Amino acid sequence: MHDTHFLVREPLLDPKQRVLGYELSWQQHRAPAVSRADLDSLVAFVAEHVNHEDYGWLLRDKILFLDAVPEMLSLDALYSLPPEKTVLTLKASDLTDPDTLAAAQGLRAGGVGIAIRDGDLAHLGKNLSLTASHVEVRFTDADVGAQARTYAALKQANVRMVGRPVSTWADFDACAALGLDAFVGKLHLTPRPGNAVKGMNPAQAIILQLMQMVQQNEDIPKIEGVLKRDPALSYKLLRYINSAGFGATREIQSLRQAIAMLGYAPLYRWLTLLLATASTSGYSPVLMETAVVRGRLAELLGQKGLPRGEGENLFVAGMFSLLDRLLGLPMKEVLDTIQLPDEVVRALLTRGGMYGPYLALAEACELNSQLVESLAASLNIAPAEVNQAHLSALSWAQSVQA
């Protein structure tokens, strides 16, 4: 099934707009009937790319919500996923079948999460938590009082509530006040009124200066001098170079040594990550993570069709594609302050040129825009390749933000 269907994702946010996890679903316009073997292969594919045999759960503290059908509840591949990090989402009508209900309750007893959407929960009785860990609720401002009573009852039943869709910041605040635990939707791509960011903060200004110096191949002592003006930035660089992931054989204590050991191209990449993640905007946690995933996904998608060495520019294009929202500035104004290759600028402004289609495909994977299939076909990238890159990008994003 992962050979014919495309994985798309939506983030689940907590009331502080941090990413709790991701909801994964599968998109295909002309989907054939799905067999049990297809479903087992699908779950096994996801598990293979997010649950490493040696390193464990690669998504760290994130939970995966998987769109499910009753046949999925007894799949052997489910045992490849950690139960405490897995939630299967079913329709309420699915649970009117006694066998499906029993299977769901068996999984709940084993620690797997079950989310219920679209329907009346009355037939599940008072012990709702025996069946469900989460319930999707749809907020409307028509009868807030009645909804508050419903939510209070769900809270008392020890069930977490997921709001869908939450389309405005006013609704987000109302749902948070009413006690909802998580929110699904694209609200994070919309600036929050009254919480506007005004350009770059001092940390971002120094990072931008360093990026320009690296682009111009300035001498290491000059770069070191700018780094020393920001103790926090210097600390981050030394921590990064001495991390287990980087693999330094001895502890590096000198900034000059760190720059020389890292090299200019990796240093630029590291600064690109920092520029996007140094935002202080109130809605930035989810945007920052989205930018990191998008940058890495665009890079991985380009590996097959572009010459070696172009990945760095694709990564920058993906990372910077949300910089206008992170900085609260029009993209044209952002690009006036940053010297980027013409093809990267073209991708950011029009999604055209060498890099634009790969960036558009990375975006489509997170927007469920129905364009994933056509964009992938135009780039000659198979569904399995897109899906593998997508899950790899999600895992990579957790490692660089730890």
pLDDT (tens digit per residue) in 263-287: 998 899 889 888 877 765 555 678 8
Q: What percentage of the chain has pLDDT greater than the value 70?
A: 91
Q: What is the pLDDT of residues 116-170, one digit of tens each?
A: 998 777 777 778 889 999 998 877 666 667 777 777 777 777 889 998 888 888 8
Q: What percentage of the chain has pLDDT greater than the value 90?
A: 43
Token reading at 210:
């360093």
Q: What is the pLDDT of residues 61-118, one digit of tens each?
A: 999 999 899 999 999 999 999 999 999 999 999 999 999 999 999 999 999 999 999 8
Q: Which residues contact 328 (CB under 8 A, 6 or more apart)?
A: 191, 196, 197, 198, 199, 281
| Residue at 32: amino acid letter | P
Token reading at 48:
């293979």
378 pLDDT exceeds 90?
yes
Measure Cα distances from 282 to 180, 182, 188, 195, 208 in Å.
Answer: 19, 17, 10, 7, 21
pLDDT band at residue 208 under the 50/70/90 scheme: confident
pLDDT band at residue 8 under the 50/70/90 scheme: very high
Q: How far apart (Å, rounded) are the C-alpha atoms in residues 326 and 282?
A: 9
DSSP 151-165: HHHHHHTT-EEEE--
Q: What is the DSSP letter of 322?
A: T
Q: How far apart (Å, rounded) are the C-alpha atoms in residues 43 and 351?
A: 33
Do the strands 86-91 and 113-117 form a parallel or antiparallel pair, or are they unpaired? parallel
List the one residue out of 390, 380, 388 whose CA is nearest residue 306: 380
Task: Specify the pTM.
Answer: 0.88
List the one residue out of 51, 124, 36, 38 whose CA is nearest residue 85: 51
Q: Are 367 and 28 in contact (CB under 8 A)?
A: no
Residue 362 exposure: Cα atoms within 13 Å on the Cβ side = 34
Buried b (16+ CB within 10 A) or exposed e, 332-367: eebbeebebbebbbbbbeebebbbbbbbbbbbbbbe
Q: How far apart (Å, rounded) are the C-alpha atoms in residues 302 and 315?
A: 10
Q: Which of the pair, 207 or 329, is modelled with greater confidence?
A: 207
Report the 10 Å Cβ neighbour count for 35. 11
